[in-house]
Each structure stands twice: as C-alpha cells, then as structure tokens.
Structure 1
C-alpha cells in the first residue's frame, strides 16, 4: 500500500518540527480538511467572507505589525505549510489561505489575503490561480513567485483591539 507508506513517511517528519508548530498541527489538519470540503462543495461567495473584508482596490496597503504579531504570523505560517504537507488529501493554496486567515484572526494579527492569476504555459494551462496571505512584510502562506501573479482580489483584516489567545511559538 503506497498510500500508507506516504502517510507514514510524512508523519515521521513531524518529530523534527518546532514544538509550537507541532502543537498547532492537529487543529490545522482539521481546519485544512474543513477548508478542502468547503472549497470543493460550496460556491466561493459562501466562504469568501472568511478571508476578510473585501478591499475595493486589488492592491491594498499592508498594515505594519508588531514584533509579537510577526512571531505569531510566522508560527501560523509554519504550522499551516507543514500540516498541508502531511494531509492525506491535497491542501492547495486557497485552503491554506482560509486556514491561515482563520488562525490569524483568532490571534488578532492584521493581514491581507490575496487572490491572483498568471498566464500558464502555452497550450498546457491558460491561467494559473494562486492565493496567499501576508502579515506585515511576512508571507504567511502561498510563498513562491508572487510577482508573476496579477492580484484580482484582496481581503483585509485589521483587528479592532489588540491581544488574543495566541502566543508566539
């Protein structure tokens, strides 16, 4: 059973991750599963509000964040990216962005979620879509060649008050 071997290999790498990331993994894996189901069966307009308040401009100014919020955002990003690698289903960028925005909101960290498109290879894939989340100057999820993508929508979250249940890992 090749599938079982792949899952076992992915979970073995789990022990090498930082403790803070490992503590978030069970919740993140569950949230990635929920996000996967939502993106497969629900229309985008039903779960788009989870990304944040839709900005009028596709390119929105990212708010600055404190050092503490930066550490929280980095921890969330590490947990989401790491967990996405060990799920037995595909956890693509949109699902990772949904989970990251949920966790960043819980931590009251200001962030912006972006949706973009880029031209694909001629004859293979006419358009490529991508989703990514940025908090301050940190790319939380959706790393890669972001400059290749034209932003078509952005969703921002700015907490009304500071503080939250999260602590940096």
Structure 2
C-alpha cells in the first residue's frame, strides 16, 4: 500500500510540474482522443476527411510558422502524445493525428496531416501510419516521410495550395 501511495504522489507531483497549457488541456485531450477513436470506428473515412483539413493529394507541403505557432505546435504534440499513454484504449497514430489536427486548428496553427504506407517484413503486409507536422515541428507520429510512402495529405483549412503555374 505504501508503494502505491508513493507512485500516486510521484505522478501527481509530475503532473503539477507540467506547464499550465498541459494541465488545462489534459482532460479535454483525453476525451478528444476517445471521441476520435470512436469516430474512426463508427464513421467512414470520407466523412472524417472534413475534420482533417483540405486534401492536397500526395504533395507534402510544410507550412511556415511564426515562433509563437511553433511553440504552440510543440506544446500540442507533447500534450497529445503524453495523454495517449493514459487512455485505457489504444490511442495509436490515427486518433492522435486527428486530435492534434483539431487542436492545431483551434489555435490557428498551420499543419500537415499525412497518411503513409510501408511494406512490412512479410512482403504481402502493409503498415499504415498517420502523422502530423507543423513547419519543422513533428507534432505526432514522428518524422515519417522517409519511412512511409505518402498516400494522402491534408493541410490546415486556412491554407490553400495553388497548383497552377
């Protein structure tokens, strides 16, 4: 029993040392991870696309950030990745990417959400992955451009990609 109390005290003191942004958003981010996980299972991908941003094909275009946006993107990435460790369900890359994209959109931070595929060890298997980056900041999913073949990208809705010459 004493060891359990010590663990709880350590977790609580660790939480209290976190920045205010993390403390305020931990519970809402936890709920958002659950909501996005549920939506992934209940709603078609086509309907989920409206939450992802503006489709830009397979052209990964990194948006430019102000220093303030860069700081916010880093904080959102840390929040989502840490919170995902405390969910009783599997909050893998897809719910993390959707949650991060929604929070970045809320704070008007430009982002790029990507989906990629890679061949597994067995040549018939494919591994799917989703990640979010914002300028030079890897928000969720790691810097995966060199590990996965990009099959779809979504930019923050406020950004537009003009492909005309």
Q: Give the alignment's TM-score, normalised by structure 1.
A: 0.81
Larger radius of gyration: 2
How far apart in 1 are the matches of 2:156 and 2:58? 14
Which residue pairs with 2:137 in the alignment?
A: 138
Q: Does residue 111 of structure 2 align to residue 111 of structure 1?
A: yes
How many residues align? The count is 151
Residue 34 (structure 1) shift: 0.4
Residue 71 (structure 1) shift: 0.6
Residue 78 (structure 1) shift: 0.7
Q: Does residue 156 of structure 2 align to residue 157 of structure 1?
A: yes
Contact 1:65/1:110 (8 A) holds in 2: yes
Q: Does residue 122 of structure 2 align to residue 126 of structure 1?
A: no
Tell me the alpha carbon deviations over residues 34-76 of structure 1, each in whole angstroms, 9 at most, x when there is no partner: 0010011211111122110000x30232121100000110111
Structure 1 residue runs without a partner (length 5+): 1-7, 161-169
How far apart in 2 are the matches of 1:134 and 1:23? 23
Contact 1:109/1:158 (8 A) holds in 2: no
Which residue pairs with 2:48 in the alignment?
A: 47
Residue 116 (structure 1) shift: 0.3
Which residue pairs with 1:167 in the alignment?
A: none
Contact 1:22/1:79 (8 A) holds in 2: no
Q: Which runs of 4+ in 1 moved over 3 A?
A: 11-19
Contact 1:29/1:87 (8 A) holds in 2: yes
How far apart in 2 are the matches of 1:104 and 1:81? 14
Q: Give the alignment's TM-score, normalised by structure 2.
A: 0.83
Which residue pairs with 1:29 in the alignment?
A: 30
Q: In the superposition, relative to structure 1, how do residues 158 and 114 fare at CA in structure 2: closer, same or farther (>3 Å)?
A: same
How far apart in 2 are the matches of 1:135 and 1:36? 22
Structure 2 residue runs without a partner (length 5+): 1-7, 160-165
